[in-house]
Structure 1
């Protein structure tokens, strides 16, 4: 898969709009809304059937994605602050929250719906130095070193990862934005 070369230009996001995507349990994109396509710069055809990592920015520590996938694969919701990469190499920051969709008969996870919105500048400025430290730890000692470093950072803050993210959601004014609005946004964009 061809990955764009990152350029140091941040895309401006509408703080009132949601990016929405669905993936299967392997992270392959099955649905996206118009705003997702507009900001990411890909057509629906370029996204459907591709791994969601198509928008992963190299400035994102791998440990954040490991935490994210471990949680949602175990059926637990999680929110994450992510720097994403558009097709033209520009970047954009989002807060992502997940809905875990299960088969009503078996209870087995069948897909994930990701809801994204723009975080506040304050939240972005909080995570940038943390993510830089995690990337540096990753370069030296791999993901295990990055994970240990993240645990030290969180211990020094006296928080769990979830507490940290929830605190950032509150600072961004998004603490309640993801609750009912997610399902409403999904229905608006996908007719459900």
Structure 2
């Protein structure tokens, strides 16, 4: 069981309604491009994020099954769409709806792209509950918030 103090993992950064978070990765998931919005929302600079595994922003609340489904889907040449809770550099978080797909040149898969948009509070709450349940059923780490 993970334990966090009140100040860790509890500060949410809202993704502005008119913003689009964009990133691209190589075929192994290393970031090759991150737009300014991605850097602003995640808290990483371009220099810090380029070349890192995209999982650098994976929040511990996300069940492993979500990412297994993502990779299975995009490796099959299909587009994946889902709700994701991401981890900021400062240990805060942000929620997005992600659309991930392959980028092809001359019919050959060369990279992946991800477009992310904001979601409603109700959607965040629904998916937090769902992801907590999924992690519990798979005996993955469970959050326990301790107020000090």
**Do the two structures share a fold, i.e. TM-score over 0.5?**
yes
- Tell me how far apart the structure 1 counterparts of residues 76 and 9 of structure 2 sit (CA, whole Å): 35
- The answer to whether residue 35 in structure 2 is matched with residue 33 in structure 1 is yes
Aligned to 1:23: 25
The residue matched to 1:112 in structure 2 has which SS? strand
Alignment of 1:1-192 (within 5 A): 6-104=8-106, 107-139=107-139
Residue deviations 1:65-119, cap 9 Å, x none? 0001110111100111000000000000000002311121xx2311011000111
- Tell me how far apart the structure 1 counterparts of residues 127 and 29 of structure 2 sit (CA, whole Å): 24
Higher-helix-fraction structure = 1
Gaps of 5+ in 1: 143-192
The residue matched to 1:82 in structure 2 has which SS? strand
Find the structure with the greater CA-based Rg. Answer: 1
Which structure has more RCO (C-alpha within 8 Å, separation ≥ 6)?
Answer: 2
Higher-strand-fraction structure = 2
Give the TM-score of the pair, scaled to structure 1.
0.67
Q: Count the aligned residue pairs.
A: 135
Provide the aligned C-alpha RMSD in A: 1.6
What is the CA distance between 1:6 and its match in structure 2? 4.6
Give the TM-score of the pair, scaled to structure 2.
0.86
